[in-house]
Structure 1
Amino acid sequence: MRERGAKKERLSIYLVKDAKLADERIVKIDQAKPVIEIKIASGQARLYAKDPPPPRIPEWVDFLFSNQDRPEDYFRGNRSEGAVVLFRQEEATFALTFGMGYHLLNLDLVERDFGLKVTLNSVNPDKLRSLDKASYEANPLNTRSQSPRDVDIFDLHIDTESDMVYALTGVSEVPIFGEHVTGRDALTIMPEARLDDLPKILAEALARYQQRPPAKFAWVEDVNRVRDPDDLAILDLELDQLLGQDQPPPNVWLGEPEIVDWETQTGYSFNRRERTPRYQTLELDHLLAYMAEHGTTPSSQSFRDQAVHVNDANYTSIKRWPAYQCLYAEILDGGKVYILRNGVWHVVSDNFVSRVDEALERLEIDDTKMPVYAHDHEGEYNESCAASESGYELFDCDNVFVGGPYDKIEFCDLVRDGRDLIHVKIYRSSATLSHLFAQGRVSAETFLKHADFRVQLNAKSPASFKRADPALRPDPKNYRVVYAIATTKELPHELPFFAKVALKGALSELEMLGFGVAINKIEVDPAFLKKGKHKAMGKAAPASRKRGNPAPGSPKNQPPATPSGIHGR
């Protein structure tokens, strides 16, 4: 039984092949301090602590002081040493960081896309090495694709309609930048240069930052930075309103702004104090509770002032982000879609919106009237539908276990007339819909491609859906994937934009496989809406409710808010 009050510890455990090996075979004792015997209830425990190397002045110090004498004791050779050099020209000021110097830099005051834009205009598009991306979805995925050889950008698995590139490495086409160039917030290069070469290097970087990206990267501008100061100020005001709600809606959440190394970090904290709470994941509720305890009103400005610390195994901060940089948001306003990612507001281009809407015009509208939704749970609705309507068979919660990345698959919720594979979802947020669309695509693809899956499915299927020989590949033209959504919105026109993007992707892939695809709007009982359940379809939470205490019967997530207009100011 665990001792009461014991705190969580992050342990990395390895098994030694031969239990009789001597310590010096297992541990590099020549790099460790003298051994210490650790008292333990049973067995033997011996501690070897790493012996740190002697102080050594960083090599970059010689680069910085090549033109002058270095002040005595200005650098002492500590491992945590770093520096920032501010370089000013008439048209621009640059900050160059060395060692751990980036800790000194206020990232709120730098151009967040500088390095990426310079890189897009400086690399060979067919000779890339690494790409960091984040999906636009409500559950964004931060992903790194890396190749040991030079490859085309599409070999790094980029989806130009659902992914935002925020870091890129490739072969440089600019000799003054060196062989390779990496761009994120900062531009990272390794040129052969002296201190006096900095002015022309920085001038070249500035010139490339101001260029439009080349044609092969033109899709990057489908989602552009919002630069107008008035628009930015109003977007932050809209964000303040969302953060100030008793229960923030699901179109605002907290998450890592970049890829993190889970092997070297143990969690997150909101200050550096030794006994402060640490959290294994970032959750908006945790931060809001922390701010409430300290009397801080949540707002865009207070989130800029609030730090999120990444902690190592010793519970010390190894990196920090402004909390604002960890905020994600999607706001629909004046017919435009705005998203907040990595501390930067973006607006989706009208051309991107038009392409998505045009693609969804070929989506079939299934006008078959399904039973009205008036149930507390989707499973209850599916059971009721199968019991009361002829032609419907229930498949809900009947998972089929398969190998591969999906482990187990729910084939669908309902089958109608042996043809329509119906996936039912009550509309709550963009995230729930993205999951719905992915579920329909994955189950249909698996049904088509994997005989083992079909054999297992056949054993669970009702008589009307059983196949004489499930091992035989089915003809996808005999089936239709139907997304049935319980909502008061018009489908698909009033779906959140990035839910539309997910639907467009599912539609394209299912059509390519040969399946028919349709969407069905399930009407919702007005009396059910008045019961106060499933707030996501309409009413906001009562203002008198305290944060963290939702009204009885309401779900944890509330509906996305539709703020007042930027374009109506």
Structure 2
Amino acid sequence: MAKSYRRLNLLMAKPLDDGQTFGDLLTDAPVDEYPLAGDLGIDGVVYVKQSTEKRPGWGPVLDEVTGRVVPGLANRSSSAVLLLRVDGDVFAFTFGYGRYLIEQSLFVQDFGLRAALNTLDENSLRSVDLHTIEDQPVQKKSQAARDSAVGVFGIDILRDVLRAVTGVPKSGVGLTQISGGDSMFSFSIDMEAADFPELARRAKGYYENDDYKTSFSWVDNVRKLKDDASIDALNAQLIQAISTRNPGIMVTLPEIGVWDTILGFSFTRNKDGIRPVIQAGDYIDTIPDLANLTIEGLKRDRLFVHDVDGNITEHSVYRCIYFEIADGDKTKIIFDGKWYEVDAIFIGRIAATLNLVQISSLVFPSVEIWDEEGKSKIESEGDYNIRAAATLGYFLLDKKLVKTDRTTSPIELCDLLTPAKQLIHVKHRKGGSAGLSHLFAQGGVAAEIMLGDKAFRKKARTVLRGVNPAARDLIPLDGVRTADYEIVFLILGEGSATLKQNLPFFSKVNLAKTFENLTQRGFRVTIAGAPTASRLLT
């Protein structure tokens, strides 16, 4: 039989349970089953989706503008999958829309990506798909005009989760146009029907190889879990943790909030019970029957955010939960409604970096809390900054914006500036991971722009002179000595002693990244906390 050039998509199934058949790997879509030709000697079967022609949705528009029923308009999608057993493993080659015929949770989730990384030339990549773990996670695709080294794509190995990659294979691989993402490994090759088992065998060998660790070891740092079975098991552990009031359960905003406009927070079944900070216990107390709590219940329940103008926004509680589960040499983390698997070595590196972050020697006043008209209140960031500046003799730069061509909008140099050149950035702990990550990124950007942009420094000096003439020369127009400056991240609502250890993991990642970037430029970077205290009655 003559060979033909084919584009193939391959997946590898997880080990089948006793009694499971090929058909158990499929979804519920109606299919026709076809046995394989006997002379091929392949243990497998082909499934083809039963499909019918459908007139496209835009057909009636053409009928209307022509005044007649336009003939020949029909859509028909074809889907097929070849399932075969090779050396005890089951593989799936999909055709057309065949990937939608198989039950994805029953297939090895990193098979495609890892097989691709082990076969690609690191200097001949064409595109990468990334999931960036930010305050609000972002998915992005970067594509190069020609074969490029991995460094061209600007990957942040601390925050980017690699989802898919395409490129040119290494010499000797014998495949072309390789790509891989999650469970699917795709490639092109001259082949004939009898070659399917050998291709599956080769692909498994690529998957089991560790060559990728030479050039792509960072992909093991963090990966997003997409396996339904694993997610279900983790969700079950999450329910158990909530039901037993595990102290590790945190409820946070899944996105950045405008903190000075936020009055407080409440939950389903106690919408009017507004509290100034988010406490997991406040939510757990609203659950009428903890023993029968379900994931569906978590997704239905809402965290309500009340602002000072009486407006209410809401988020699914499931999206707001942050929780870590130790699992052997991995840690599983739920963040923004998604589960991640984090490598223990990577966690150790982040911890080692955080150990280098010193507690600031500055002493800050506590954040005031009080009751008013039967409701708990907490001092806003803006009010705290005003009081701290007055109490400590610092320059108040909160909301004093400086224009720069290096960002899309004006930025603050810092919230508070000391006469000793300490730039203090302030954020409430109440906002959770999103707000804290934003704090560290904001401080890092401001310091870097101050260092590298003379035009920014000139405008900043004008702003400083408007605040207090004595403050202007704290930022020189020329000759910035970074060793003279300390960047202080002040977090309101928790004391300094427990601050670092209680940060959510992805906030730790952002702090570690900011610390490394700024200290490499010569800045000192410290962190500080300000616990709460009852307001004294006057």
Alignment pair present for 1:363 and 2:357: yes
Give the Cα–Cα distance (whole angstroms) in 1 for the partners of residues 128 and 320 of structure 2. 21
Moved more, 340-349 or 471-480: 340-349
Q: 1:232 to 1:104 in 2, by over 3 A?
A: closer
Give the Cα–Cα distance (whole angstroms) in 2 for the partners of residues 93 and 253 of structure 1. 39
Give the Cα–Cα distance (whole angstroms) in 2 for the partners of residues 209 and 341 of structure 1. 28
Q: Is the Cα–Cα contact under 8 Å of residues 181 and 189 in structure 1 kept in the other structure?
A: yes
> What is the aligned partner in structure 1 of residue 29 from structure 2?
none
Moved more, 439-448 or 131-140: 131-140
Q: 1:211 to 1:415 in 2, by over 3 A?
A: same
1:211 maps to which of 209, 212, 216: 209
Q: Is the Cα–Cα contact under 8 Å of residues 451 and 470 in structure 1 kept in the other structure?
A: no
Q: Is the Cα–Cα contact under 8 Å of residues 330 and 337 in structure 1 kept in the other structure?
A: no
> What is the aligned partner in structure 1 of residue 473 from structure 2?
467
> What is the aligned partner in structure 2 of residue 144 from structure 1?
141
Give the Cα–Cα distance (whole angstroms) in 1 for the partners of residues 421 and 173 of structure 2. 61
> What is the aligned partner in structure 2 of residue 389 from structure 1?
392
Report the alpha carbon displacement of residue 468 of structure 1 after superposing the two structures with TM: 9.4
Give the Cα–Cα distance (whole angstroms) in 1 for the partners of residues 80 and 134 of structure 2. 38
2:381 maps to which of 378, 381, 384: 378
Report the alpha carbon displacement of residue 107 of structure 1 after superposing the two structures with TM: 2.1
Report the alpha carbon displacement of residue 301 of structure 1 after superposing the two structures with TM: 8.0
Q: Is the Cα–Cα contact under 8 Å of residues 386 and 394 in structure 1 kept in the other structure?
A: yes
Runs (5+) with no aligned partner, structure 2 = 1-58, 256-291, 300-317, 369-377
Q: Equivalent residue of 2:333, what SS?
A: strand
Give the Cα–Cα distance (whole angstroms) in 2 for the partners of residues 329 and 189 of structure 1. 39
Report the alpha carbon displacement of residue 404 of structure 1 after superposing the two structures with TM: 3.7
> What is the aligned partner in structure 1 of residue 404 from structure 2?
402
> What is the aligned partner in structure 2 of residue 351 from structure 1?
345
1:441-472 deviation line (CA, Å, top 9, x unaligned): 11111112222222222222121211399542
Give the Cα–Cα distance (whole angstroms) in 1 for the partners of residues 201 and 297 of structure 2. 35
Report the alpha carbon displacement of residue 383 of structure 1 after superposing the two structures with TM: 0.7
TM-score w.r.t. the length of structure 2 is 0.65
> What is the aligned partner in structure 2 of residue 504 from structure 1?
512
Q: 1:178 to 1:419 in 2, by over 3 A?
A: same
> What is the aligned partner in structure 2 of residue 332 from structure 1?
324
Give the Cα–Cα distance (whole angstroms) in 2 for the partners of residues 300 and 202 of structure 1. 37
1:488 maps to which of 489, 494, 511: 494
Q: 1:341 to 1:200 in 2, by over 3 A?
A: farther
Q: 1:252 to 1:412 in 2, by over 3 A?
A: closer
- Corresponding letter in the other structure for 1:492: K
Q: 1:328 to 1:378 in 2, by over 3 A?
A: closer
1:366-419 deviation line (CA, Å, top 9, x unaligned): 1321111114311010011112222x1111111122224332112111011250
Q: Equivalent residue of 1:191, what SS?
A: strand
Report the alpha carbon displacement of residue 349 of structure 1 after superposing the two structures with TM: 2.7
> What is the aligned partner in structure 2 of residue 197 from structure 1?
195
Q: Equivalent residue of 1:417, what SS?
A: coil
Give the Cα–Cα distance (whole angstroms) in 2 for the partners of residues 48 and 411 of structure 1. 65
The 5 A counterparts of 1:39-438 are: 78-173=75-170, 175-212=173-210, 213-223=212-222, 235-240=234-239, 250=251, 299=294, 330-333=322-325, 337-340=331-334, 346-374=340-368, 375-390=378-393, 392-428=394-430, 429-438=432-441
Q: Equivalent residue of 1:214, what SS?
A: helix
Q: Is the Cα–Cα contact under 8 Å of residues 399 and 409 in structure 1 kept in the other structure?
A: yes
> What is the aligned partner in structure 1 of residue 311 from structure 2?
none
Q: 1:347 to 1:218 in 2, by over 3 A?
A: same
Identity of matched residues, %? 29
Give the Cα–Cα distance (whole angstroms) in 1 for the partners of residues 137 and 188 of structure 2. 32
Q: Is the Cα–Cα contact under 8 Å of residues 63 and 69 in structure 2 kept in the other structure?
A: no
- Corresponding letter in the other structure for 2:220: E
Q: Equivalent residue of 2:126, what SS?
A: strand
Give the Cα–Cα distance (whole angstroms) in 1 for the partners of residues 201 and 458 of structure 2. 65
Q: Is the Cα–Cα contact under 8 Å of residues 418 and 464 in structure 1 kept in the other structure?
A: no
TM-score w.r.t. the length of structure 1 is 0.62
1:520 maps to which of 513, 525, 528: 528
Q: Could you say what the CA RMSD is over the residues aligned between the two structures, in angstroms?
A: 4.0
Q: 1:333 to 1:110 in 2, by over 3 A?
A: closer
Give the strand-richer structure, 1 or 2.
2
- Corresponding letter in the other structure for 1:219: W
Give the Cα–Cα distance (whole angstroms) in 2 for the partners of residues 485 and 242 of structure 1. 27
Report the alpha carbon displacement of residue 140 of structure 1 after superposing the two structures with TM: 2.0
Give the Cα–Cα distance (whole angstroms) in 2 for the partners of residues 509 and 48 of structure 1. 66
- Corresponding letter in the other structure for 1:486: L
Give the Cα–Cα distance (whole angstroms) in 2 for the partners of residues 194 and 205 of structure 1. 16
Give the Cα–Cα distance (whole angstroms) in 1 for the partners of residues 112 and 216 of structure 2. 15
> What is the aligned partner in structure 1 of residue 280 from structure 2?
none
